[in-house]
Amino acid sequence: MSDDTPEVLTEVRGGVLVVTINRPDAKNAMNKAAAEGISAAMDRLDSESGLQVAVLTGAGGTFCSGMDLKGFLRGESPSIPGRGFGGLSQWTPNKPVIAAVDGYALAGGMELAMSCDLIVANAGAKFGIPEAKRGLVAAAGGVIKLPRQIPPRIAMELALTGDFIDAERAYELGFINRVVAGPALEGALELAARIAENGPLALAASKAIIRASHTWGEDEMWDKQAPFIAPVFTSSDAREGATAFAEKRKPNWQGK
């Protein structure tokens, strides 16, 4: 099952929505049409009950080389109002999103990857926010989100030098989840399949809490967590999960 657009391709594999930036001749540089395509795909992810997780990747061996400078010079913005660069940097869908990174994830491309919930990278992948080399700032999350995902001094070094790091170094820093020898998409699909086996309400609540809780103080975190988990524990899926465990079978999730 597929739904192809010029700049972004989508394909459903089981409960996984594969979203591919399809501008290989431009190293998948982000333009307005690609950002709109990603944004639309994320809306589809959340709206279709049969979809559990999305994998975002790039065609032609590159994840995303950043903003399309030709589009920028034409006055085009690769951002979606309220959602940011590539339709993801300032917003996230309710369901998990995995970045599958081959080749380069640079500037906005690295910021797009860090906006996903999980990252799987090929061993030859390179990451970097080289904006300072061009007199710019990594404004799509590089200088505000990266210090929350890796040690702040390392984030400072990457922002001030503009230097790249390889997948192994990114893994050591905890920036990515897995390094694979083959195509990143294969590793990401394996991870996505494991996620898709689990309860959809539990996945959405877990994602929301982990993303939000870094701003919660110790005196308020339990109270703030409660509204997220209460509907999960009283759901039909929670009862189904317990019943399936007792009956030694796979759960039949309904998302309610």
Same domain (yes/no): 92, 215:
no
Same domain (yes/no): 174, 186:
yes
Same domain (yes/no): 93, 115:
yes
Same domain (yes/no): 154, 235:
no
Same domain (yes/no): 86, 138:
yes
pLDDT, average across residues 226-243: 92
Same domain (yes/no): 188, 164:
yes
Residue 46 vs residues 76, 182, 222: alpha-carbon distances, Å: 27, 29, 27
pLDDT for 129 beyond 60: yes
Same domain (yes/no): 91, 192:
yes
Same domain (yes/no): 156, 215:
no
pLDDT for 2 beyond 50: no
What's CA 199's distance to the chain center, in Å? 19
pLDDT value for 6: 84
Dump pLDDT digits (tens) for 142-182: 999 999 999 999 999 999 999 999 999 999 999 999 999 99
Same domain (yes/no): 6, 126:
yes
Q: Which domain holds residue 227?
A: 200-247
CB 58: neighbour CB atoms within 10 A? 29
pLDDT value for 5: 55
pLDDT for 1 beyond 80: no
- How sure is the predictor about 69, in pLDDT bands with cuts at 50, 70 and 90? confident
pLDDT for 3 beyond 80: no
Instruction: Provide the whole-model pTM.
Output: 0.93
pLDDT value for 222: 95
Same domain (yes/no): 50, 86:
yes
CB 86 within 8 A of CB 200: no
Name the domain count of the chain. Answer: 2
Beta bridge partner(s), residue 54 = 17, 97
pLDDT, average across residues 193-213: 95
> So which residues are the catalytic ones?
111, 131
Average pLDDT along the chain: 94
Q: What stretches of 102-238 adopt beta strand conformation (E)?
A: 104-106, 118-122, 126-128, 165-166, 178-180
What's CA 169's distance to the chain center, in Å? 19
Picking from 186, 231, 191, 188, the residue whose alpha carbon sits closest to that of residue 208 is 231
